[in-house]
Amino acid sequence: MRGSVTRPRSLPGPARARRAAGAAASAALLLPLIGATPSTGVTSDSTNATPSTGATSDSTTGLQRAFAAAAAEYRVPQSVLLGVSYLQSRWDTHGGAPSVTGGYGPMHLTDARTALTTAPHHSEGTEDPRGDDARPPLRPDRALPEDAEIPARLTTLLQAAELTDRNPEELRTDPAANVAGGAALLAAAQRDLGEPLSPDPADWYGAVARFSGADDSATGAAYANDVYDVIRTGAERTTDAGQRIALPARPGLVPDTTQLRHTGLRMASAAGTECPRTVSCEWVPAPYEQLGDDDYGNHDLGDRPDSQSIRYIVVHDTEGGWEGVVDLVQDPAYVSWNYSLRSTDGHIAQHVKAKDVAWHAGNWYVNAKSIGLEHEGFLAFPDSWYTEAMYRSSARLVTYLAAKYGIPLDRQHILGHDNVPGPTTATVPGMHTDPGPYWDWRHYFELLGRPFGSTADGSGGLVTILPDYPANQPPYTGCVTTGAPCAAHGSSAVRLYSDHSETAALIKDVGLGTTPTTGVNDISSRVSTGQQYVVADRWGDWTAIWYLGQKAWFRNPAKRPAAVPASGLVVTPRAGVGSVPLYGRAYPEASAYPAGVPAQAVSPLPYRLPKGQKYAVGDKVPGEYYYAVTFATDAHRVVVGKDLYYQIQYGHRVAFVRAADVRLSAA
């Protein structure tokens, strides 16, 4: 999706009561909490105590004291308040800017007026979500309804304002007031359940489940389990405002999960879903329906992984709110994706089985070999920060899918939609750019259990892009108004220049045919966390890499590196040839197609791999094409050729090169 530059007007989609599914309240959590665990020896949970952080100045303890004060005022155990806040925002304040669903401050108190939109992900731009030029282009044109009732989970800031008798603007902008609002909501939930305001954090499980905003017990339980996992493990980190916050570990804490029965949340079943037991998941099927003689929607039936492997997971953002987006995927005339993930509590809806092929990535080769995940949120508006609850739920789902289908956990297989190549030259300019520069790939891969780091010594010829997300704040424009600067924000992306100077021209992408800019949707001159490139040159604090057939420079000072040395395989044109063509899909040679299956063009992109340049390799794959152009499946075929391809990291997007055209070597 290309991030909107117009202020959203209305909440998408009417809310629907849906049957949900998920983990039992007592299910063990598989993912560890990433981050330092303070060794404190703390065995009690006094609401007036402030955990020792080793810091003494107001600049490092102010927010910690705010948690202690709010816990004391509203009689909420401080560990519960800290645990809930960590799962919402990791204690960050984001300068008072709202999240993707209009959540403010460390407690993510929501005011839906900031999270409204009318531009759904696949209804905008020129990208064909199916990406198959064997069929007429599919251009979904569906507006989101504007007559929505705002769900209670998106109005918690106003509820907190009433409970605390504070101005809503204060709750948005003052972190201490925001924490107090969260404490008031937790205390109110505890009283509504008829439970005492106990100093024991084990007695607050039901209130935490209610705080999630979930409307079913499975989602509430999954959220509460995560909060108590944070409390048991403990955490300590410096926030985006430079404050050191600590939550002492309580490894023996066992919450009273029986409280879930009294929360009033409806019971649910996980029937029909393909999800790990550690998330809350429901089955909301995308329809496979015939719309006319030669028209059907909104996905293709398949037999994966038996007929063809699943090699990619594609991360999207929805560019719309939960209710409206989940309505869209149930429209047979629209498009589809495999899973949707909700921001406020990490709840998941599955729409298309893994065996079938959803229409989401804009490249038929990638669609046929991928699973698509739509995350509730916006690339550029309002400020594109995502909740920890959604990051964790997504990471658990991806870890499960990767293990089940043998998908490597790296950035050449866990792709952003913005990393998917255009299948042909004509499609390159219209490809989508989500989840954008504000998706925290570093933290995401930590949650996946595959943290990025150096894998070679300082002389390595390959680098992994790895900036410090909070401190890395390259300027962007066009988040809200065309050409206007975006708010300062941590980013996974690093900007590239034509020389070792920030006054030099930005790197140009010839496939886009436009002058590069700092626009939030312009990916021509930036690399992203976890991507790997071959070093082309160095100059002081600057490193050059081979990128889009050019030498591209980025600042990489030793004291604040933007990349670390890596090892791996690379390709370069074989001896005796000059530059070689690149492709947006790995299709078979014409002779591989059986009778009745039209041979697909092997169309080169407007890019070349020049002699003397090297690029990182992600995979070696045979040419493959899934022929599925009819509603009836008896004519569907998977065509596999003899030609082999290497998938490489060429620019911001990946590309394919014929193995016969290049030489493989170690970096």
Q: How many CA atoms lie within 13 A of 155 on its CB side?
A: 9
Run of H or E residues at 444: helix 441-447
pLDDT band with cut points at 50, 70 and 90 for residue 96 = confident
Give the C-alpha separation, 105 to 96, whole Å: 6
Q: Are strands 493-495 and 462-465 parallel, antiparallel or unpaired?
A: unpaired
Give the C-alpha separation, 313 to 99, whole Å: 24
pLDDT at residue number 504: 98
At 89, give phi and psi (nearest 5°). -135, 0
Could you read off the pLDDT of 228-237 as tens digits, one per residue? 999 999 999 9
pLDDT at residue number 502: 96
Could you read off the pLDDT of 558-576 as tens digits, one per residue? 999 999 999 999 999 999 9
pLDDT band with cut points at 50, 70 and 90 for residue 150 = confident
What average pLDDT does the chain have?
88
Give the C-alpha separation, 110 to 656, whole Å: 43
Please state the pTM of the whole predicted model.
0.89
pLDDT at residue number 25: 34
Of 278, 478, 559, the closest CA to residue 392 belongs to 278
CB 130 within 8 A of CB 296: no
pLDDT at residue number 527: 98
Q: How many CA atoms lie within 13 A of 634 on its CB side?
A: 1
pLDDT at residue number 324: 85
pLDDT at residue number 21: 33
pLDDT mean over 493-508: 98
Give the C-alpha separation, 98 to 530, whole Å: 27
CB 464 within 8 A of CB 545: no
Could you read off the pLDDT of 504-535 as tens digits, one per residue? 999 999 999 999 999 999 999 999 999 999 99
CATH superfamily of this structure's domain 269-437: Peptidoglycan recognition protein-like (3.40.80.10)
pLDDT at residue number 22: 34
Characterize 304-336 residue by residue with b for buried, 16 or more Cβ atoms within 10 angstroms of its Cβ, and e for exposed: beeebebbbbbbbbbbbbbbbbbbbbebbebbb
pLDDT band with cut points at 50, 70 and 90 for residue 112 = confident
Output 183 or 32, whichever has higher pLDDT: 183
Q: Are strands 462-465 and 244-247 parallel, antiparallel or unpaired?
A: unpaired
Give the C-alpha separation, 585 to 311, whole Å: 13
SS3 (DSSP) at 40: coil
Give the C-alpha separation, 293 to 295, whole Å: 6
Give the C-alpha separation, 171 to 163, whole Å: 12
pLDDT at residue number 39: 37
pLDDT-above-90 percentage for the chain? 76
pLDDT at residue number 141: 67
Of 490, 537, 547, 491, the closest CA to residue 516 belongs to 547
pLDDT tops 80 at residue 107: yes
- Give the amino acid at 452: F
Structural domain spans, the chain:
269-437, 572-666
Tell me 664's DSSP state.
E
pLDDT at residue number 313: 98
Q: Which residues pair with 350 in a beta bridge?
A: 283, 339
Of 225, 172, 198, 166, the closest CA to residue 74 belongs to 198
pLDDT band with cut points at 50, 70 and 90 for residue 55 = very low
| Whole-number Cα distances in Å, 206 to 191, 209, 490 | 11, 5, 34
Give the C-alpha separation, 241 to 470, whole Å: 10
pLDDT band with cut points at 50, 70 and 90 for residue 125 = low
Could you read off the pLDDT of 365-383 as tens digits, one per residue? 999 999 999 999 887 765 6
Give the C-alpha separation, 591 to 195, whole Å: 72
Residue 568 CB: number of other CB atoms within 10 A?
Answer: 18
Could you read off the pLDDT of 598-634 as tens digits, one per residue? 999 999 999 999 999 999 999 999 999 999 999 999 9
pLDDT tops 90 at residue 274: yes
| Token pair of 608 as six digits | 């070349």
Residue 149 exposed, middle or buried by CB count within 10 Å (0-12, 13-18, 19+): exposed
pLDDT-above-70 percentage for the chain? 87
pLDDT tops 60 at residue 448: yes
pLDDT band with cut points at 50, 70 and 90 for residue 15 = very low
pLDDT at residue number 458: 76
pLDDT tops 50 at residue 12: no
Output 46 or 316, whichever has higher pLDDT: 316
pLDDT band with cut points at 50, 70 and 90 for residue 40 = very low
pLDDT tops 90 at residue 158: yes
Alpha-carbon Rg for the chain, nearest whole angstrom, is: 25
Of 365, 307, 308, the closest CA to residue 647 belongs to 365
- Nearest 5 degrees, angle CA 649-CA 655-CA 659? 95
- Least confident range from 31-45, 264-278, 564-578, 586-600: namely 31-45
pLDDT tops 60 at residue 538: yes
Could you read off the pLDDT of 313-354 as tens digits, one per residue? 999 998 888 888 899 999 999 999 999 999 999 999 999 999
